[in-house]
Structure 1
């Protein structure tokens, strides 16, 4: 029996699941050793397997593994195991990584070119479609790999944007990679396979069923250094599950804000309100945080143009956001108090946390944009952005023409 066969045997045991399979591998050292273990060894192992799981592991048939190998060979499907060097390190690091990945297309090196997940509603607004496409296109221009789930709506828009930007995109499916889901995305799937890849933890022929999607979402976030939520109608939706997986995996989460009365943005706004995500209005924040992971520094001007071209660059809000980024190098902190602020700065509220106070003091000291705060803080970018959001909501910070200042008029007791 080959090592690949033992991986396929363990990964496809009915009723076992990836968590128990990983525990067994950790306890015995390899799928080969798990296969060789008898009932007593399995029950007494450090994996903490229950009686049902032990019974699953006593099924030593290799028929499924042989059938999968034959099917993958016929359909030109590549198999990556947890022990392969091409298996992404970021995905390997999550609590319950898939033992096996089935891949069609051109599998990118996600350790060399980091992935960023862009996910959202299956019924997005035109604004959500533009944002997802714009982010996909700008990430492609920068050199990131766009990861999503190929669902209709925002996911498909993110893939299309990446393809239009000439970049690489990876679609993570719940069922087999030989089955397109939804059927309306058959042409999109074909385009993805030309330059990127379609991947699943389930063998070819697996029908896309509802119960497989939550597990699929952990792979989307696990492949990425950060996840961006464009639009989501419910805090418990599949998109929000992806965000929760990312948080559990210790990955950064960003959310595109929307109107407070818009149901399509309810999930995004809740993530922001809870401080679980940082605000994202364009790709510049992602460049600041992750461009250092790329093999070559991206051209920020071209990334900007790609985003505005796809997201609708004629809108006043988009223009204002990018004008603020362009001005950040030219605008210098004032050495004297501004005319509309009193000469003596008011003290900050006493009930600020240490992190909130650090951010507020940096703004008072001359940090004009969130990007500058990220550079000067020793906190994760998503955490900095969340704190900025909370301080703005509390009236301690204000933003004018894209620049942050202390809101001296509202200082005093924290709201």
Structure 2
């Protein structure tokens, strides 16, 4: 029996989140051993719910076989965490996908630097031009442009890399056989000729809003750094930037006009010292000059390292001075009313944190919504200043405690 079927079986265990599958692999040692584990061995796994234990005891491989057959028909390859072709850079993140579905030819992103380029789906003329210039010149310099093939900045970045004769990777929030948005069908075909389309979702998986925030960690995880071209305050591209920061990767942002709302989020990251200002492609190329010359991966840093992944492996330069964030305002004497624009789901997350749920997992359990949807909601609330993290623990902002 093919070991790949066991990986497909494990990756599709519905009650498990990506980081929990990583924990299962650490516990059992491999997907094959997880599949072979009997009920007694499963009972020894700490922290399992009844539903999760039942899922591990279900040894039906029919679903895995269907996925394998679909990949064969598509000509798609399946990379697992056990494969040498699986990108090491992605393997280093806290919650790597156990399985990566690939169409096209995935560039060696451990030898060639991937640079994520992301931004709003409704860019300004300036933002679109900036994305084209940045992605084109970065591709010409030797970067693999990684993006989400979404409307707006993402698609512009993928397209500019192709025009430059470079390589590009599109990370989808659906199956690799599903083109989303539909009007990017020609772009998707071009990407398949000069790079790859990848996803953690099996073929046939339709796009859903909550899947896109979850895929963003893969966009940043494949890359040495993330460039935010144009992003409003509540933007999915800022989720990618937050993922990059959590992964110990570099973040850059193109400066935009003050007072233009579609640049509020990216400008704020520059102001807060979370993103390095990228006024030209040269600002980014200079950061990775050694990596581009060598054509091999930078030294790895553990996830959540304070020093970005790529810096220490290049030149012995002093660390970049990062301006301190402004001090938090003093706590209000009385709890402030929550902002009126918040959705019911955002309010549910805040109530969970106010009730004592101080980790992402605890909030997910309290709210009962899909992981990616809750993590995206938490990020948006952080961007709004309603939630904050202190020592890795979630807290409501002082005004809302």
TM range (shorter): 0.7 to 0.9
SS in 2 for 1:210: coil
SS in 2 for 1:197: strand
Residues in 2 aligned to 1:94 and 1:41: alpha-carbon distance in whole angstroms: 28
Residues in 2 aligned to 1:21 and 1:389: alpha-carbon distance in whole angstroms: 36
Q: Using structure 2 for the length normalisation, give the TM-score.
A: 0.74
Please point out which of 269, 272, 275 is paired with 1:271: 269
Deviations along 1:89-135, one digit per CA (max 9) or x if unpaired, are 11000000001111111111001111000000000001111111111
Q: Say which one has the larger Rg.
A: 1
Structure 1, unaligned stretches of length 5 or more? 298-373, 391-415
Which residue in 2 is equivalent to 1:262? Answer: 260
Which residue in 2 is equivalent to 1:45? Answer: 45
**Counterparts of 1:2-401 in structure 2 under 5 Å?**
2-45=2-45, 48-234=47-233, 236-294=234-292, 377-379=317-319, 383-384=320-321, 386-387=322-323
SS in 2 for 1:205: coil
Question: Could you tell me whether the CA contact under 8 Å between 1:20 and 1:53 is conserved in 2?
Answer: no
* RMSD of aligned alpha carbons: 1.9
Residues 55, 295 of structure 1: alpha-carbon distance in 2 compared, 3 angstrom cutoff: farther
TM superposition shift of 1:389? 11
TM superposition shift of 1:376? 7.3
TM superposition shift of 1:375? 6.8
Deviations along 1:260-281, one digit per CA (max 9) or x if unpaired, are 2110101101211221111111
Residues in 2 aligned to 1:59 and 1:136: alpha-carbon distance in whole angstroms: 46
Question: Could you tell me whether the CA contact under 8 Å between 1:95 and 1:249 is conserved in 2?
Answer: yes
Question: Could you tell me whether the CA contact under 8 Å between 1:113 and 1:295 is conserved in 2?
Answer: no
TM superposition shift of 1:43? 2.9
TM superposition shift of 1:196? 0.7
Deviations along 1:342-372, one digit per CA (max 9) or x if unpaired, are xxxxxxxxxxxxxxxxxxxxxxxxxxxxxxx
Residues in 2 aligned to 1:275 and 1:50: alpha-carbon distance in whole angstroms: 41
Which residue in 2 is equivalent to 1:371? Answer: none
Residues 284, 388 of structure 1: alpha-carbon distance in 2 compared, 3 angstrom cutoff: farther
Question: Could you tell me whether the CA contact under 8 Å between 1:16 and 1:56 is conserved in 2?
Answer: no
Q: What is the total number of aligned residue pairs between the two structures?
A: 308
Which residue in 2 is equivalent to 1:362? Answer: none
Deviations along 1:278-306, one digit per CA (max 9) or x if unpaired, are 11111112112112112568xxxxxxxxx
Question: Could you tell me whether the CA contact under 8 Å between 1:112 and 1:295 is conserved in 2?
Answer: no
SS in 2 for 1:191: helix
Residues in 2 aligned to 1:147 and 1:26: alpha-carbon distance in whole angstroms: 29
Question: Could you tell me whether the CA contact under 8 Å between 1:20 and 1:49 is conserved in 2?
Answer: no
Question: Could you tell me whether the CA contact under 8 Å between 2:117 and 2:227 is conserved in 1?
Answer: yes
Which residue in 2 is equivalent to 1:343? Answer: none
Residues in 2 aligned to 1:164 and 1:296: alpha-carbon distance in whole angstroms: 25
Residues in 1 aligned to 2:202 and 2:129: alpha-carbon distance in whole angstroms: 34
Residues in 1 aligned to 2:74 and 2:241: alpha-carbon distance in whole angstroms: 33
Question: Could you tell me whether the CA contact under 8 Å between 1:115 and 1:144 is conserved in 2?
Answer: yes
**Stretch of structure 1 that moved more, 49-58 or 116-125:** 49-58
Question: Could you tell me whether the CA contact under 8 Å between 1:11 and 1:17 is conserved in 2?
Answer: no
Question: Could you tell me whether the CA contact under 8 Å between 1:149 and 1:155 is conserved in 2?
Answer: yes
